[in-house]
Amino acid sequence: MTAADPGSEPRPAVPTASAAPAQPASPDQPAAPARYHRGRRLTGRVLLYLGLAGFAAFLLLPFFWMVSSSLKANNEVFTIPVKWIPEVFHWENYVDIWTVQISAAASNMGSWLKNTMILSVVVTLLQLFTGSFAAYGFSRIRFPGRDTLFLAYIATIAVPWQAYMIPQYKLMSQVHLTDTLWSIIILQAFGAFGVFLMKQFYETIPEELSESARLDGLSEYGIYWRIMLPLSGPAIASLALLTFVRTWNDFLGPKLYLRSPQNYTIQVGLKLFQADPMGSSLYGLMFAGSVLSVLPVAVIFLLGQRYFVEGVATSGLKG
């Protein structure tokens, strides 16, 4: 009963669902969704670039208007509707600004630019030294009350300068430093923001480097000068750029302390172009001077923007 009958015919195998052959997929089916997603990504990227280009054009519009106004006559600057392109280009504005008579005296653009450059460079160098040196003490040297002192020092950032500018002015008057560049240099030689920026960067440097240097007999001054400073290039570049731009564009400080026209900075000197001895405003020359005052800052920022972004990213400062 169990043995198969040799004379019987074999039964045909019944195909099951699992044994059914798979139908080959059409090659067009997966390509269509892929093309759709690529098209969506391309469209989104184009819209993003168009939006960024429009936003950049919006930000550059005031600068374009300033350059255009510097090539106009005085009575064409504030016309309504606005003329974005001058009918006649007055290139002589960039020549007359150096010798024109304003406020019963000749324009002193050379001295104003020199004073501004001196202030910006000296204040930047001093803040780089004081900020990096103090930040090293707060980040690497342990002493009683260090954190409390650091928080109290950083809290001064929240106090506006207008709250204590009168006591500072009285102090500078008592030591007879008003109407000199020294008054601004001394007051701006220290900055809590620079200390905070450098301390944040120092904390990203491994402590083992300092410990190894101490074991090798290097002093704290040597560690600061030979180890910390060479490693903190991006942070130093960021602080230098921010300090230079802020000092160069400062108006209220030089306006408060500097009274002689030969000691003016470019920002204060440009205000003299608002009215000539005849009573009319020299707007064309004033905007020509504004273009000249913006160019150094723009060039320095373009050259140092890579270090600025790197320094802000590594120091933990985020907008």
pTM, full prediction: 0.78
Give per-residue pLDDT as tens, 286-298: 899 899 999 888 8
Give per-residue pLDDT as tens, 20-59: 455 555 554 555 677 777 778 888 889 999 999 999 989 8
Using a pLDDT cut of 90, give the percent of the chain over it. 32
258 token code pair? 């500097």
Phi, psi (5° rounding) for residue 316? 85, 10
Instruction: Indicate the average pLDDT of the chain.
Output: 82
pLDDT at 3 over 50: no
pLDDT at 87 over 60: yes
What average pLDDT does range 234-245 have in this prediction? 90
Rounded CA-CA distance 25/232 in Å is 59
What pLDDT, on a 0 to 100 scale, did the predictor assign at position 318? 46
Rounded CA-CA distance 226/3 in Å is 96
Q: Which of 96-100, 124-128, 256-260 has the lowest mean pLDDT?
A: 96-100
Phi-psi region of 103 (alpha: psi -120 to 50; beta: other; left: phi over 0): left
What average pLDDT does range 109-130 have in this prediction? 93
Higher pLDDT, 101 or 46: 46
- The DSSP string of 85-147 is S-SS--TTHHHHTTT-EETTEE--HHHHHHHHHHHHHHHHHHHHHHHHHHHHHHHH---TTHH
